[in-house]
A and B are shown apart, each in its own frame.
Chain A
């Protein structure tokens, strides 16, 4: 009965590869986010989707492409992975104009 789930939990890959991270929420929320947490634990917003529509797109390389097939899912595809992409990626969701966000467990991406 996990509220916000992400797969995979760990992802180790080589530079130049393309990979995807999936996020699903069963809370009925209509807004979902991707955050990136770097090695110093700094969390920064990457993207936000509301009802499958992109509403926030921070300064993120266009190698990162979010896709929301439906309200409950927000996936993150990364092309041509670079060493600097190594981080923990968190998915989050919230409902309506509520302020509290619910976070997934994170996906630790390691690019070798």
Chain B
């Protein structure tokens, strides 16, 4: 069964604003990753947070993980038009196993 559920399904913001996407999952995880998919393209890895971590930063990205609530959030600060894409969270139960993806959040950033 599907592991992750993203919220919201779609998000429209203006350039310069922050975008927050949430992800919930159902079972224990080894780690949680966020991927970006530009329209008509493959997925690109953005950031990974391990089950024993609570927060991680990478450039304009900030990820939090709450294993007690089985949820994660991805914050993109100072968004740009180039951030327009679909964002997926993905989990795996054990290191190196296949990823289980959520349904994704479609982010639209207008200039």
Residues of A within 8 A of B (CB): 4, 31, 33, 35, 40-45, 48, 56, 90, 92, 94, 96-106
Task: Decide: B100 and A45 in contact? CB cutoff 8 A.
Answer: yes
CB distance from A27 to the nearest CB of B (A): 13
Q: Which of B27-45 contact A (CB under 8 A)?
A: 30-31, 33, 35, 37, 40-45
Task: Decide: B98 and A103 in contact? CB cutoff 8 A.
Answer: no
Name the residue of chain B whose CB is nearest to the CB of A50: B96
Count class of interface residues, chain B: 20 to 34
Residues of B within 8 A of A (CB): 2, 30-31, 33, 35, 37, 40-45, 48, 86, 88, 92, 95-101, 103-104, 106
Residues from chain B with a CB closer than 8 A to the CB of A97 are 95-96
Q: Can you give 9 contacting A-B residue pairs, CB < 8 Å?
A: A42-B2, A56-B98, A92-B43, A97-B96, A98-B96, A99-B48, A100-B45, A103-B35, A103-B43
Task: Decide: B42 and A48 in contact? CB cutoff 8 A.
Answer: no
Q: Which of A33, A40, A104 makes the CB contact (< 8 A) with B103?
A: A40
Task: Decide: B42 and A105 in contact? CB cutoff 8 A.
Answer: yes
Name the residue of chain B whose CB is nearest to the CB of A94: B96
CB distance from A92 to the nearest CB of B (A): 8
Task: Decide: B99 and A105 in contact? CB cutoff 8 A.
Answer: no
Residues from chain A with a CB closer than 8 A to the CB of B45 are 100-102
CB distance from B102 to the nearest CB of A (A): 9
CB distance from B39 to the nearest CB of A (A): 11
CB distance from A14 to the nearest CB of B (A): 24
Sorted nearest first, the 3 A-B pairs with minimum C-beta distance are: A103-B42, A43-B101, A45-B98
